[in-house]
Chains A and B, each alone.
Chain A
C-alpha cells in the first residue's frame, strides 16, 4: 500500500486543527462561491443567459450554476430582458420574496435603461424598482460579459462587511 508523503501534505501536528481567518472573509467566501441566480428571463437576453449556463461558457465555474426558480432559494436576481410596466410589480415582488442577502444584475440595455424601447409600455431601467449592483451593457450582452458581471459582483461581495450587517440586522 502506498502512503502519502507526510512532508508534502497537510500536517496536523504542525498546523493544528485550526484555520485562522476573519469572519467577514469566511462569510463572503461562502457567499461568493455559491451565488445562486434567480433567472428573471424576460426577453432575448434570457437566451444569452441560457448560453452562460451551458457547457461552452459554464457559469458553474463560478459557483452560480444553480438557477433557482423559487425566489426563496436564490441570492442574485439576473434581470435579463425588457421590463414592461405590466411586469414591473411582479419583478419587484419576486425581489421582495428573495431572502437576504440578495443582489441584482441588470443584464443588457433594456434592463439597465429601457434600451431601445423608449415608449409608454417599458420601464426605463429596472433600477427604478429594485437596487441594482451590476449593469451589463450590450443588446444582448455576450455570455462573457455576464460572466464578467458575476465576477465584478463577487469582487463587490468580497469587500462587504457581512458580520456587522448581520449583527445590526
Chain B
C-alpha cells in the first residue's frame, strides 16, 4: 500500500506547481487551475486513483480572492485510499474550470450540480445545464451571498404562475436558521428555532 508520503513526493516531483494542502485525513494538494486535469489524469493512470468520488466547490465569500475553489475527491479501488485535489478558479466574477468529463464520464452530473449551486462554468463540459433547480432559475443558491431563505422569483411554468398568482417566496426564517449546532448533545443540537427573540410579529433586533 502506498503511503501518504509516497504519493505526496510522487506528485510534487511530477507537478512542481502542486503544493500540499492542509488536510485532517487523506493527502491533499493545491494545484493551479490550468494543471488540474493533468494532475487528475496522472493520479488516475499512474497512481491508481481510478474512482472519482465527488466534484464540488467552495465559496470563500464575496470579499475573498480567489473566491471559488473547485475540489475533487478521488478513491483508489486497489489501494483503498483517498486523495483530494483543490484548484482556485482564476476569476472571482465569472469562475471557470476545465472539465473532468474526459477522464471520468461520471464527472458530468457532479459538474452540473456544482454549476447549478455555485455557478462555476466547466469549460468543455458536453451538457452544462442546471440539474437541481429549473433551467430559468436566476441564482446560485450555495453562494455565500445568497440567503438561506431564498429570493423571490418566478416559477418555471408561466401558465401555472398565471393560474395560481404566486411564485417563489422567501421562506420565513423567524427564530432561524434552523440548523444543528455542533458540540451539543444530540437532543440539544437538533435543528429548531434557537433565537426566539424575533418572529413574524417582532422584528429581528439589529
Complex: A96 Cα to B160 Cα, angstroms:
10
Interface residues of A in 86-106 (CB under 8 A from B): 86, 88-89, 92-93, 96
Complex: A119 Cα to B173 Cα, angstroms:
9
Question: Any chain A CB within 8 A of the CB of B105?
Answer: no
Question: Any chain A CB within 8 A of the CB of B191?
Answer: yes
- Mark each residue of chain A from 27 to 62: 1 if its CB lies under 8 Å from any CB of chain B, else 0: 000000000000000000000000000000000000
Docked-complex contact A89 and B160, CB < 8 angstroms: yes
A81 nearest CB across to chain B (Å) = 16
Point out the residues of chain A lying under 8 angstroms from B168, CB to CB.
85, 120
Main secondary structure of the interface of B (DSSP, over half): loop
Interface size class of chain B, counting residues whose CB lies under 8 Å from the partner chain: 20 to 34
Point out the residues of chain A lying under 8 angstroms from B160, CB to CB.
88-89, 92-93, 129
Chain B residue nearest in CB terms to A123: B168
Question: Any chain A CB within 8 A of the CB of B149?
Answer: yes
Whether A86 touches B171, Cβ cut-off 8 Å, given contacts A116-B178, A118-B149, A120-B149, is no
Chain A residue nearest in CB terms to B163: A92
A43 nearest CB across to chain B (Å) = 15
Q: Which of B151, B172, B191 contacts A120 (CB 8 A)?
A: B151
Complex: A122 Cα to B150 Cα, angstroms:
10
Question: Any chain A CB within 8 A of the CB of B51?
Answer: no
Docked-complex contact B134 and A118, CB < 8 angstroms: no
Interface residues of B in 149-206 (CB under 8 A from A): 149-151, 155-157, 160-161, 163-164, 166, 168-173, 176-178, 191
Interface size class of chain A, counting residues whose CB lies under 8 Å from the partner chain: 10 to 19
Point out the residues of chain B lying under 8 angstroms from A114, CB to CB.
171
Chain A residue nearest in CB terms to B157: A89
Question: Any chain A CB within 8 A of the CB of B148?
Answer: yes
Docked-complex contact B134 and A86, CB < 8 angstroms: yes
B202 nearest CB across to chain A (Å) = 18
Chain B residue nearest in CB terms to A128: B166
Main secondary structure of the interface of A (DSSP, over half): loop
Docked-complex contact B191 and A93, CB < 8 angstroms: no
Docked-complex contact B172 and A119, CB < 8 angstroms: no
Point out the residues of chain B lying under 8 angstroms from A129, CB to CB.
160, 164, 166
Complex: A124 Cα to B132 Cα, angstroms:
18
Docked-complex contact B171 and A124, CB < 8 angstroms: yes
Question: Any chain A CB within 8 A of the CB of B141?
Answer: yes
Complex: A118 Cα to B168 Cα, angstroms:
13
Which residue of A85, A114, A118, A121 has the most chain B CB atoms within 10 A of its CB atom? Answer: A118
A115 nearest CB across to chain B (Å) = 10
| 6 more A-B residue pairs beyond the given contacts A86-B132, A89-B160, A124-B172, with a C-beta to C-beta distance below 8 A | A92-B164, A118-B177, A118-B178, A119-B171, A120-B168, A120-B171
